[in-house]
Amino acid sequence: MSQKSLHLRLGIVASLFALFLVLYAIPSFVFAPSNVGNIILSPKFWPFVLAGLTGIVGLSLIFNAMTAASDAPFEDEEDVHPEGSAPWMRLGALAVIMMITMVALPRLGMVWTTMLAFAACAFLFRTRHPKAALVCAVVVPLLLYAFFAHVAGVAVPQGDFVRLP
């Protein structure tokens, strides 16, 4: 499969999925009260934003496929698939991380549990940037907590041991 045809197919699928979300799925299955004062706090706002971004990415992939000069074959970094039990071991480890996350959520709270789960997944998948992964594992949940707890006024589940302000 060439890179041009891959981009074209992915672009078409992403664009059709975005249309499905905008025209049917979000209006039918996402319910929002009519008295929401701030549009950003509406339950329908962020699904529409994500659907719009999906449509933009899909259209840009289609545009890229149409304007590409050559039809070069797709080159993957690894031509051979890993052999043996390593992929199954990683899949099993990911399932264990998910189970531990579900058990830890009520005890540690959402912020601390997501920090640990993010870091564990980053090292499980052997990231090339471990320092950036650790920084993101700490900063992203804290920023999300700050936004939802202090700006949006949404209660974020806290743990039994450490409570955030």
Instruction: Kindly state whether residue 111 falls inside one of the protein's structural domains.
Output: yes
Residues 41 and 98 in one domain: no
Instruction: Kindly state whether residue 73 falls inside one of the protein's structural domains.
Output: no
pLDDT at 32: 82
Domains identified in the chain, total number? 2
Residues 91 and 140 in one domain: yes
The H or E element spanning position 118 is helix 110-124
pLDDT at 77: 52
Phi (first) and psi of residue 152, to 5 degrees:
-85, -20
pLDDT at 153: 82
Query: CA angle at residue 96 from 92 to 101, to 5 degrees?
Result: 145
pLDDT at 10: 96
Instruction: Kindly state whether residue 142 falls inside one of the protein's structural domains.
Output: yes
Residues 91 and 138 in one domain: yes
List, for the chain, all residue ranges whose pLDDT scores fall below the cut of 50: none
Domain that holds residue 118: 86-151
pLDDT at 92: 95
Residues 90 and 146 in one domain: yes
d(CA 62, CA 21): 19
pTM of model > 0.85: no
Residues 9 and 63 in one domain: yes
Instruction: Kindly state whether residue 38 falls inside one of the protein's structural domains.
Output: yes
pLDDT at 76: 56
pLDDT at 72: 65
What DSSP assignment string belongs to 57-111?
HHHHHHHHHHH-S--PBP--S-SSPPPTTHHHHHHHHHHHHHHHHHHHHHHHBHH
Instruction: Kindly state whether residue 49 falls inside one of the protein's structural domains.
Output: yes
Instruction: Kindly state whether residue 79 falls inside one of the protein's structural domains.
Output: no
Instruction: Kindly state whether residue 55 falls inside one of the protein's structural domains.
Output: yes
Instruction: Kindly state whether residue 161 falls inside one of the protein's structural domains.
Output: no
pLDDT at 19: 97
pLDDT at 74: 60
